[in-house]
Structure 1
Amino acid sequence: MRILLVTDAWAPQINGVVVTLRNTIAWLEKWGHEVRVLSPQGFKTMPMPTYPEIPLALFPGGKVAEVFREFKPDAVHIATEGPLGVAARAYCVKHRLQFTTAYHTCFPEYVQPRFGVPLSWTYTWLKWFHGPSSAIMVGTPAIAKLLEVRNFRNIVEWSRGVDTVLFHPIEERFKEYPRPVFLFVGRVAIEKNIAAFLELDLPGTKVVVGDGPQRKELEKRFPKAVFAGARVGPELASYFQRADVFVFPSLTDTFGLVLLEAMACGTPVAAYPVRGPIDVIKDPAVGVLKKDLREAALAALPLDRGAVRRYAERYSWEHCSRQFLAHLVLARPTPEGNPLERPAANAGTR
C-alpha cells in the first residue's frame, strides 16, 4: 500500500509528533508498505511565530498537488494542522479522496496564552479542519472526550509507544548533583508549565533537559536549577536513567511520550491528575498524580523502579503502528470489483 503522510513537523525537530511518526513509519516499511513523507523540507519556509525552530511551508498548494499526482497514494494521513496539512486537506476534499487526521496537540490551549485567541474560536477552526476526516486519531480517552464534548466526530484511538532498548534502567544515579534529582524533559515553553515544577520546595536538585523560547527567562528566575539543553539518543536516556523522579507539570499535553521514556528507564513519575498523565499513569505503583505537585514528587521517590520498568514494557511501537494501519485500511474506499487491500500478512492485529 502506498501511504502519503503529510506533516508540518519533521526532523530535525525533536518532539512527540516527530518521534511518533518516525517509529510508525519504521514499522509500516517493515511490513512492506511504501511511505512517502510530505514535510516542509524542499519548500520555501518561514519560522513559526513563538516556535522559530519550526519552519512553515509558504504557499505549498501547487507542490502538494504535484506530489499527489505523482505518488498516487492508496491512503493519505494528515498529521498536523499547519500549511501543509491545510493544502493536503484541500486537495483531498476537492478530489473527493478519503483521508485520516490526528490530533497531536491541544492548539487552543497553546494559542490562548500566547495571542489571547478565545478557545472557542480555535476549536471552531479545528472542527472545520478535521470535519471531513474519515478518522481523527487521538492518543488517549481523555482527549477523545475533550473533542467529543465539542462535537468532533469519527474519533479513534491511536496510542503511543516507547523504545525499550534505548530507554532502559541502570543502577547509576547522578553523582554531580545533590540528590534526589527531580527531572523534567521537554520543550522549554510556556505551555509546558515548567515554572510550576521549578517553584516547588524540593530537596536535592531540579534538572531541566530541553530547549525553547522560555529557557533564558527560567534560567534567570531559577538560578539554582540545572538547565542541560536539548539531548538526544543515549545521552537523553542517561538523564532519565540517573534521575530519582520525573516531574511532568504540563496541564495541556495530549499524551506525553516522555512519561513512557522515563518509566522505561525505571524512573517513577509525578504529575498533575489531568489528561495525558491520567491515561498513562494508571497504576499507583509507577507514578503519583496529585493536585499538589510537590507532594506527588516526594511520594514518587520510594516507588519500586523495577515495577515502573515492567509497566512501561506494556507499550510498544509495534502495537501502536498496527492501530494506525487499521485506521488507514478502514478509511480507504474499496474500488468496485477489487477487494480492499489488506495489511501484509505479518502485520495482523495483536
Structure 2
Amino acid sequence: MPRIVIVTDAWRPQVNGVVRSIENTNRELARMGVEVAMITPDAYPSIPMPTYPEIRLSMARYGRVARAIESYAPDYVHIATEGPLGLMARHWCLQHSMGFSTTYHTRFPEYVAARIPVPMSWLYAYVRWFHNGGGVCMVATESLRQELEGHGLDNLRLWSRGIDLDIFHPRPRTERPFGLPRPIFMTVGRVAVEKNLPTFLDLDLLGSKVVVGDGPERENLQKRYPDVTFTGARFGEELAASYAEADVFVFPSRTDTFGNTILEALASGVPVAAFPVTGPVDIIPGDGKAGILNDDLHLACEAALACSRDDARALAETFSWERATRQFLDNVEAAKVRPPRHRAAVTG
C-alpha cells in the first residue's frame, strides 16, 4: 500500500476550499487503498495569523516536523500550502533528495498584499522559489496554469475538483426561505476581504441577499449592510438545504483559483452569476444555460434568473472527486520521478 504524507498549514477547524479539497481527496485515496498521513498545525504550538485569527500559524521546530515525516516512511510527500509547515517539509525533501509535489490552492501574493504592504514582485518571487523546487505544482484550472506560467512557474499540472452529489442536490423550495421574499441571491464562503463581497452587496437587486459563512469581515459587513441576511457558517445538511433555497448563486470573487462553492451551488440546482475570471470561466460554459458570466455582475445576476436549474445540476454531475483524485495521485507519482531543484536552507 503506497504511503503519502500531506503537509498543510490549512486544516480544521478552518472552513475553506483547501481543507475541503484535502478531506475529499483523502476519502477517495482511502477507497483506492492509499495510506495518507497528515502533518497539520493542530499537532504543534501555533499563533493566530495577524489580521486573520481563524488561521493558525505553526510554531513547530524543524526537527519535530522532520521526525514526523520520517516516522511515516512515505513513498510520496505532498505540500499543500506555502506556510511554516510547508516550508519545513520542502526543506526536508530537498535535504533527502526526494521529489515532492505542491499545490497552488490560493492566490498567495494577492492575499498577503491585501493585508500587508509587501511588493507583489517579492511575493511572486517567493511563490516561484517555493513551487519550482518540487517536481509538480498542481493547479485547479487551465486558465490558472496559463497565468502562473506567465509568472515563471514551470512544473504545472492540472488537479481539478469534485462535488458530493449525494449531499448537494436539488430540493423542494419554500415560499419564503429565511423569512425573506424571493428571488434569493446567495453567496457562500469565507467573509473575508479577498472575496470581494461589497461588489455583490452593493447591487440593487429585486428580492433578497443572503450571505452564508463566517470570517473576519462579517461584523463590519453586517453593520454596513443591515438589509442583508448573514446566517453565519453552516455545515452538512443545513448548508446543503440553504444552497437549494437560492434562486441565483452569486460568486463575486475575482481571486479564487477554482471556486468549490460554485460546484456546490450547481449540484443543488442553482444557476451561477459571476465575473469571467479564473475559476468561473473554467466551470461555467458560455452557453448561458447553467450560469452567466459578465463583467457587469448586476446583469449577470438578473440574467441568471432565467437559467435552467436542471442544466445547473447536469453540469455539476460532470465533476467527480474520484476522477479528480486519480489526477492528484498521477501528479504525486510524477513528482517523485522529477528530481527536486533549487536547494535552499530553512532553519527551525
Give TM-score, length-normalised by structure 1.
0.94
Where 1:52 maps in the other structure, the secondary structure is strand
Where 2:161 maps in the other structure, the secondary structure is coil
Contact 2:200–2:297, Cα closer than 8 Å, also in 1: yes
Q: Does 1:16 align with 2:17?
A: yes
Contact 1:174–1:181, Cα closer than 8 Å, also in 2: no
Q: What residue is the counterpart of 1:63 in the other structure?
A: 64
Q: What residue is the counterpart of 1:317 in the other structure?
A: 321
Q: Does 1:164 align with 2:165?
A: yes
Aligned length in residues = 334
Q: What residue is the counterpart of 2:344 in the other structure?
A: none
After superposition, what is the alpha-carbon deviation per residue over 1:185-225, rounded to whole angstroms, capped at 9, x for unaligned?
01001100000000000011000011111111111111000
Contact 1:173–1:243, Cα closer than 8 Å, also in 2: no
Q: What's the offset of the Cα at 1:68?
A: 2.0
Where 1:260 maps in the other structure, the secondary structure is helix
After superposition, what is the alpha-carbon deviation per residue over 1:129-182, rounded to whole angstroms, capped at 9, x for unaligned?
112110000000111011100111110000011110000001214511011010
Q: Distance between the aligned counterparts of 1:174 and 1:288, measured in 2? A: 25
Q: Distance between the aligned counterparts of 1:174 and 1:207, measured in 2? A: 15
Where 1:302 maps in the other structure, the secondary structure is coil
Q: What residue is the counterpart of 2:257 in the other structure?
A: 254
Q: What's the offset of the Cα at 1:268?
A: 0.2
Q: What residue is the counterpart of 1:138 in the other structure?
A: 139
Q: Does 1:295 align with 2:299?
A: yes
Where 1:332 maps in the other structure, the secondary structure is helix
Q: What residue is the counterpart of 1:211 in the other structure?
A: 214
Q: Does 1:2 align with 2:3?
A: yes
Seen in structure 2, the aligned counterparts of structure 1 residues 27 and 198 have a Cα distance that, compared at 3 Å, is same
Q: Which residue of 185, 195, 200 corresponds with 2:203?
A: 200
Amino acid across the alignment from 2:271? P
Q: What's the offset of the Cα at 1:331?
A: 2.2
Q: Distance between the aligned counterparts of 1:113 and 1:328, measured in 2? A: 31
Q: What residue is the counterpart of 2:47 in the other structure?
A: 46
> How do 1:82-231 residues align onto structure 2 when only pairs under 5 Å count?
82-173=83-174, 175=176, 176-231=179-234
Q: Distance between the aligned counterparts of 1:306 and 1:98, measured in 2? A: 44
Give TM-score, length-normalised by structure 2.
0.94
Amino acid across the alignment from 2:169? H
Where 1:153 maps in the other structure, the secondary structure is coil
Amino acid across the alignment from 2:173? E
Q: What residue is the counterpart of 1:304 in the other structure?
A: 308
Amino acid across the alignment from 2:45? K
After superposition, what is the alpha-carbon deviation per residue over 1:1-36, rounded to whole angstroms, capped at 9, x for unaligned?
011000111112111001100111111111111100
Contact 1:174–1:243, Cα closer than 8 Å, also in 2: no
Q: Distance between the aligned counterparts of 2:219 and 2:209, measured in 1? A: 16
Contact 2:187–2:249, Cα closer than 8 Å, also in 1: yes
Q: Does 1:34 align with 2:40?
A: no
Q: Distance between the aligned counterparts of 1:174 and 1:6, measured in 2? A: 46
Where 2:24 maps in the other structure, the secondary structure is helix
Where 1:156 maps in the other structure, the secondary structure is strand
Q: Distance between the aligned counterparts of 1:199 and 1:116, measured in 2? A: 27
Q: Distance between the aligned counterparts of 2:197 and 2:279, measured in 1? A: 16
- In structure 2, runs of 5+ residues without a counterpart are 339-348
Q: What's the offset of the Cα at 1:294?
A: 0.6
Q: What's the offset of the Cα at 1:48?
A: 1.2
> How do 1:268-283 residues align onto structure 2 when only pairs under 5 Å count?
268-282=271-285, 283=287
Q: What's the offset of the Cα at 1:59?
A: 3.3
Q: What residue is the counterpart of 1:241 in the other structure?
A: 244
Contact 1:285–1:304, Cα closer than 8 Å, also in 2: yes
Q: Distance between the aligned counterparts of 2:331 and 2:174, measured in 1? A: 42
Q: Distance between the aligned counterparts of 1:89 and 1:332, measured in 2? A: 13
Identity of aligned residues (%): 51
After superposition, what is the alpha-carbon deviation per residue over 1:98-137, rounded to whole angstroms, capped at 9, x for unaligned?
1000000001111222112221110001111112110000
Could you list the structure 1 runs, at least 4 aligned residues long, displaced by more than 4 angstroms after superposition: none
Q: Distance between the aligned counterparts of 2:77 and 2:281, measured in 1? A: 31
Q: Distance between the aligned counterparts of 1:333 and 1:247, measured in 2? A: 42
Contact 1:56–1:82, Cα closer than 8 Å, also in 2: yes
Contact 1:245–1:300, Cα closer than 8 Å, also in 2: yes
Q: What's the offset of the Cα at 1:56?
A: 1.2
Where 1:46 maps in the other structure, the secondary structure is strand
